[in-house]
């Protein structure tokens, strides 16, 4: 199951009524079971309804959406908007972080909109997502404050399966290595999945890693498909010019995949009576195993045929 965060760069009415842009936005969104769109500028809510309708025209299994309130300190407001597949996940709860800690009020320009999903097919059935879009000038402080958000939600929902994702502005002029070392979510039990050398910007002017995915604790880390955390370079994927790509966004989505229960059980031998410590796969053993399965299948076929003949007589 793939999850993503995508800064849509002033995503509103103008973009969703641009046929070229909406075509590629729906292609991008449809890659994911859950995707959080950032920098949504849609006071009426009509733009995101249009996007949802266009998305569902192309999908056999329709998406649903949920959105935060308008967020921001002044006249400029943004929203977090999440699109998700109800055939794969269920939105159990949501929570708008209040950002009113005594002595540290209004730490965020755009307070996190926290989502809780039931994911029955993955190894982490109860998943919490914390979308983030920091104000560039306040990046170090806002990233550090995310630890308080995590602690608040752990207490509220009694859940440690937490993923923080979005536009952290965690590179370039906004976050130095020295400042990063002092940020609480940059040390255990947190794990940053998008490395510092990953380009998350759709621009030839820089290759900064502004967008990130961070998980809390070993259980959450072990639920991630290895090496699945990355940016999705839609410019390369769709063979777009620089101008066409920037018309969609100046960011790439960042994505990650959760392990499924079936895949994990098969890899571990769970439920199959297999002692993993005794299993050694070689070309010979694989070949012998295949022939054994063919022999067993033939044996069962003959037995069934005999039973059928006896019953017929």
Residues with active-site annotation: 78, 133
Radius of gyration of the chain (CA): 24
Instruction: Outline where the chain has alpha helix (H).
Output: 13-16, 19-29, 46-57, 139-157, 177-181, 217-222, 234-237, 242-248, 261-268, 283-312
Q: How many Å apart are CA 272 and CA 265, to the nearest integer?
A: 9
**Inter-residue long-range contacts of 100-104, CB under 8 Å, 24+ positions, other chains counted:** 101/148, 104/145, 104/148
| Best CA proximity match to 167, nearest among 42, 252, 72, 108 | 252
Inter-residue contact 186 to 147 (CB < 8 Å): no
Convert 199-213 to b/e letters by CB count within 10 Å (16 or more is b).
bbbbeeeeebbbbbb
C-alpha count within 13 angstroms, C-beta hemisphere, residue 27: 13
């Amino acid at each position: 199951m793939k999850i993503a965060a995508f800064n849509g760069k002033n995503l509103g009415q103008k973009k969703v009524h641009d046929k070229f842009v909406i075509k590629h936005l729906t292609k991008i969104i449809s890659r994911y079971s859950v995707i959080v769109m950032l920098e949504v500028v849609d006071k009426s809510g009509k733009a995101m309804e249009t996007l949802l309708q266009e998305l569902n025209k192309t999908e056999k299994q329709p998406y649903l959406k949920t959105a935060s309130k308008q967020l921001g300190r002044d006249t400029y407001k943004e929203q977090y908007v999440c699109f998700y597949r109800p055939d794969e996940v269920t939105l159990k709860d949501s929570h708008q972080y209040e950002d009113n800690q005594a002595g540290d009020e209004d730490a965020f320009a755009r307070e996190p909109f926290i989502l809780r999903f039931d994911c029955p097919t993955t190894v982490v059935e109860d998943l919490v997502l914390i979308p983030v879009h920091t104000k560039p000038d306040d990046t170090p402080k806002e990233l550090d404050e995310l630890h308080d958000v995590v602690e608040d939600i752990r207490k509220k929902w009694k859940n440690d399966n937490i993923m923080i994702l979005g536009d952290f502005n965690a590179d370039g002029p906004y976050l130095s290595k020295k400042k990063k070392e002092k940020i609480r979510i940059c040390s255990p039990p947190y794990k940053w999945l998008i490395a510092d050398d990953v380009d998350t910007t759709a621009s030839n002017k820089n290759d900064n890693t502004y967008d990130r995915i961070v998980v809390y604790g070993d259980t959450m880390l072990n639920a991630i498909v290895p090496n699945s955390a990355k940016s999705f370079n839609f410019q390369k994927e769709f063979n777009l010019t620089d101008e066409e790509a920037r018309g969609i966004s100046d960011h790439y989505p960042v994505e990650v995949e959760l392990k499924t229960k079936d895949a994990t059980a098969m890899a571990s031998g769970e439920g199959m009576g297999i002692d993993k410590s005794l299993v050694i796969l070689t070309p010979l053993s694989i070949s012998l195993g295949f022939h054994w399965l063919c022999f067993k299948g033939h044996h069962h076929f003959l037995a069934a045929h005999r039973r059928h003949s006896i019953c017929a007589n």
